[in-house]
Structure 1
């Protein structure tokens, strides 16, 4: 276990990285050199191919998003990759021309989902049996519900350090967007999926209606209160490399301040984001989130 590329690196991550680099080395020469940015890699990017030549493709990648899920065989992790043409100035997620999300399921699973988006083409969703068999293509659709009631919605609340703020924001959202529950009833359900790609998939498949990960902003609030506060793990650009796939399915993604979600291809920048299943959910929840942030950030 170690620390690199913005996150704790476990043995399973190193194995995946080695396999990945071997696979890239076998790509046809017409695609190389390839410049890689991602979890566990050098901040300046790793070159696959002749280092004396200018790269042709830049790839933002996370070989295993949700390592903690799969290493304990609890829940699916995800492979994330996005490709952009190389340019002198480091590309951003706005430059992505193709991307993929591929499920890494736990041992008891019988199916694996994959989502592929190339250029401006259609989003291809494939569900493949892990045993011999032919996969089927299907059309993922975000929820069309206009409220959060009796649906899944959550503020990312993974690790100690920001749990109080995350819970406070979720309670504030629930108090301002849902009706009154009867005794013994819960109107909003919570599902803490420890994987940004997994969170995107839950939104694009219609399982979740709202999700946000505001850890960098929570860290900023904590630092305002205590300058000695140590920032914990945050979402990084490689974690949101699948954003074009989520958007192609109809998910609305913004940063924590209602702006377009975008990030440079790097390994360390902290990313805050909000995801909405549809515009009605966005209109309902976004003003509440902004009001809470305005009160906390000063």
Structure 2
């Protein structure tokens, strides 16, 4: 809950730096609320031997299917949004509801606003990225939150000022990780006790400087069965090139199909992944298929956290990955553990993409 003493007093932040500094604690508060909500929801389902209550689809939202655990997280986010909107106007995007705009009604409540032109922040949230892992208590999901300052229209990734991604671990975990970043100020890695929320340790996160293309994870993400054969062909062309031209030991190029784009990016910044390629939209375009792909809300917060740590993310054209924060834009991307790894790997990836034919 927002402390009763917190009221809408004083002027709004005057610069991008102030917006980021003032709002990052609120993003971290939301992330912690979503972590506790996910743990509570999963614990109740496990204790009652009813994972079906969290893993069944309950609706189709603006951007994706909403499962039981997503609905609980969206409700938690809705409470946070309403509490913040009592104090000052803001806009929030989620995959379930799209963009919503609210502000104070002058009577200790909130009112809907017609659009972005209210002078408050614009915030992009995926309350549970990696739903399919977490809802079956298989692997962690991540909450993904990004903030842009005031504006009159939909923000783009280049407008991100602050971000926070929070690990939502499975029931066996005792520690959860959180990455927080402000543009130009680096990334902080915090580890917390999942029961108490106590921060156990916290330090700046810096990507390593190793440019190796083996002895690590280098996945090509292929979530859908109808894309897997083609993604494998693309990956084979890439690995053949780095074996021949870079001397990579392919027996030590490991795969990992983590159904969580923010988690993939976090593992890249942490050095677990050397690179990750999500070519689903690239492949689907060439096959003439409609495929479930990465969307802006999946990765907006993760991109800023990862780049501020010194890892690198590009489009599959090798350019800056910029996009509108909406529920529709399909994305493909490549992420690299650092700039040196990108410089070795990207030419081979671009060549493999150029040579690819369905």
Structure number with larger C-alpha Rg: 2
Structure 1 alignment gaps of length 5 or more? 224-228
Aligned residue-pair number:
286
Q: Distance in 1 between matches of 2:75 and 2:309?
A: 32
Q: How does 1:27-38 map to 2 (within 5 A)?
A: 27=84, 29-32=86-89, 34-38=90-94
In structure 2, the residue matched to 1:168 is 233
Farther-moved stretch of structure 1 (233-242 vs 45-54): 45-54
Deviations along 1:192-212, one digit per CA (max 9) or x if unpaired, are 111011001101101110111
Matched, 1:127 2:127: no
Q: Where do 1:142-157 residues align within 5 Å?
A: 142-157=207-222
How far apart are 1:123 and its partner, in Å? Answer: 1.7
Q: Following superposition of structure 1 onto structure 2, how do residues 1-298 of structure 1 map, counting pairs within 5 Å?
A: 1=57, 2-27=59-84, 29-32=86-89, 34-42=90-98, 45-49=99-103, 50-52=111-113, 54-55=117-118, 56-132=120-196, 133-178=198-243, 179=247, 186-223=251-288, 229=289, 231-241=290-300, 242-296=302-356
| Stretch of structure 1 that moved more, 21-30 or 155-164 | 21-30
Query: CA offset at residue 145 of structure 1?
Result: 2.5
- The 1:139/1:87 distance shift into structure 2, 3 A limit, reads closer
The change in CA–CA distance for 1:36 and 1:145 in structure 2 (over 3 A counts) is same
| TM-score of the two chains, using structure 1 as the length reference | 0.90
- Indicate if the aligned counterparts of 2:190 and 2:199 stay in contact, CA closer than 8 A: no
- Report the Cα distance in structure 1 between the residues aligned to 2:354 and 2:248, rounded to whole angstroms: 26
How far apart are residue 216 of structure 1 and its match? Answer: 0.9
What CA distance in whole angstroms lies between the structure 2 residues aligned with 1:119 and 1:254? 17
Gaps of 5+ in 2: 1-56, 104-110
Give the corresponding residue for 1:226.
none
Give the whole-Å Cα distance in 1 for the aligned partners of 2:83 and 2:293.
33
| Aligned residue in 1 for 2:17 | none
Q: 1:297 to 1:57 in 2, by over 3 A?
A: farther
Q: Is residue 141–residue 206 contact of structure 1 (8 Å, CA) maintained in 2?
A: no
How much does 1:297 deviate? Answer: 6.5
The Cα offsets for residues 76-102 of structure 1, whole Å up to 9 and x where unpaired, read as: 100001011231231101111111001
Matched position secondary structure for 1:219: helix
**Paired residues of 1:70 and 1:77 also in contact (CA < 8 A):** yes
Q: TM-score, normalised by structure 2?
A: 0.75
Instruction: Decide which structure has greater helix share.
Output: 2
CA 1:219–1:120 in 2, change beyond 3 Å: closer, same or farther?
same
Contact persistence 2:145–2:163 (CA under 8 A) = yes
RMSD of aligned alpha carbons: 1.9
CA deviation string 1:35-81 (max 9, x = no partner): 11121113xx1123332474311111100000001001111100001
Structure 1 pair 14/156, CA: closer, same or farther in 2 (3 Å)?
same
- Larger RCO (alpha carbons 8 Å, 6+ apart): 1
* Aligned mates of 2:142, 2:349 — CA distance in 1: 28
